[in-house]
Structure 1
Amino acid sequence: MLIRGYLRASTTEQDALRAKEELKAFGTKFDQRIAGYYIENQSGTKLDRPELNKLIEDSEAGDVLLIEKMDRLTRFPWGEWKTLKARIMAKGLVIVVVDQPMTHAVFSSGEQNSITLALTEFMLDLGAAMARDDYETRHKRQAQGIAKAKAEGKVSRSPTECSLTS
């Protein structure tokens, strides 16, 4: 089992390496070493992410895809999340999320029973849905704020001119 850390930030202005030490410390907590890091600055709403694709291609069954939070892996609508998840599962990768203890069982209990696996999959799906909801809520609030500022003469750009990445 190799642990592959995935670090993502939305834009080049953001620091994708920000969570590297947290992933390292997490591995140390379980006496595990992270074999490599896949780092990119791409929106979580894009299915074609070169480093994520490379991580999946480099992996073998039983390897771990380690992320800080689900929103680092996905902010997709449900159908696209299912597509990405199917690629990850077909490769035999195990997704471990630092802030979702249910996903940590691969490091402590070895073989998981079907109930634990089902609950873990549910937690990942729930995390993916919450990440998408957060993305949509932020977009909606941003558009409302821009519209209000525009109506008050504080800004001259339309909401479509100001995009929010994730």
Structure 2
Amino acid sequence: MQTVLYARVSTIDQTIAHQQAQAEAAGFKFDRVVADHGVSGVSTRLVDRPEGQRLFDILRAGDVLVVRWVDRLGRNYADVTDTIRELMRRGVIVRTIINGMTFDGATSDPIQQAVRDALIGFMAATAQAQAEASKAAQAAGIEHAKAQDGKRYLGRKPSYTRRQFETAQDLLAQGNGVSLIAKSTGLSRQTVYRLKDDPAAAEFALAEWELAGRLSA
């Protein structure tokens, strides 16, 4: 039996280092790391990704697949639920770093199966909803940029990076307190409160500045 960490980043300039660090900090030890770089979780199914295909080839019954959260498998509800169910049918145990969930196809009790499947559906739906919210924020930023014809006022540059934003959201999802998140991310408590109270607005501000950077490059 082996434990495999699967990581995915959406752009080629991102790294999987923080996903691996999160796994190790949570106490996971793995035999190998499989990662896809610059691959969208919205438009590309896991089985269609270069390393996603290899993942299905190497996993065997009794193996454990570790992911930061189900959104690393995908951000499409049908794809994520189908993927986890297929892995469970093969006897693979799926574990998430965030929330510490375990999905095991060996469960035979009908009530436990129902609870497990409901959790899979909820987490997959949440992953898709987050992707759609991010896409909407980016689209709004693009439309705003077009309307201003390059003369838009972006406001103050966000005091957090994409990585800090995602890490803070991960820690918030785990129920961690503001002080711990501030210490872990290097952000101020005030910034963490903003990310917690209005994540959509925080995502929008970040997306606009990212867009501005791409347009000026």
- Pair 1:2–1:27, CA change in 2 (3 A): farther
**What are the residue-to-residue correspondences of 1:99-110 with 2, within 5 Å?**
99-103=98-102
For 1:79 and 1:101, how far apart are their aligned partners in 2? 22
1:38 is aligned with what amino acid? Answer: V
Residue in structure 1 matching 2:115, options 114, 119, 141: 119
2:74 is aligned with what amino acid? Answer: T
1:71 is aligned with what amino acid? Answer: D
Contact 1:27–1:34 (CA under 8 A) maintained in structure 2: no
Report what 1:159 is aligned to: none
Report what 1:40 is aligned to: 36
Contact 1:75–1:132 (CA under 8 A) maintained in structure 2: yes
For 2:79 and 2:137, how far apart are their aligned partners in 1? 24
Report what 1:135 is aligned to: 131
What secondary structure does 1:132 align onto?
helix
Report what 2:90 is aligned to: 91
Report what 1:144 is aligned to: 140
For 1:82 and 1:127, how far apart are their aligned partners in 2? 9
Unaligned runs of 5+ in 1: 157-161
After superposing on structure 2, the runs of 4+ consecutive aligned residues of structure 1 that deviate more than 6 Å are none
- Pair 1:102–1:137, CA change in 2 (3 A): same
Cα offset, 1:112, TM superposition: 5.0
What secondary structure does 1:100 align onto?
helix
In the alignment, structure 1 residue 12 sits paired with structure 2 residue 7: no
For 1:155 and 1:84, how far apart are their aligned partners in 2? 45
Unaligned runs of 5+ in 2: 153-210, 212-217
Contact 2:41–2:71 (CA under 8 A) maintained in structure 1: yes
For 1:83 and 1:113, how far apart are their aligned partners in 2? 19
C-alpha RMSD of the superposition? 2.5
Contact 1:146–1:155 (CA under 8 A) maintained in structure 2: no
For 2:8 and 2:141, how far apart are their aligned partners in 1? 27
Larger relative contact order, structure 1 or 2 (CA cutoff 8 Å, min sep 6): 1
% identical aligned pairs:
28
Equivalent pairs, count: 147
TM-score in terms of structure 1 length: 0.75
For 1:50 and 1:117, how far apart are their aligned partners in 2? 31
Cα offset, 1:155, TM superposition: 6.6
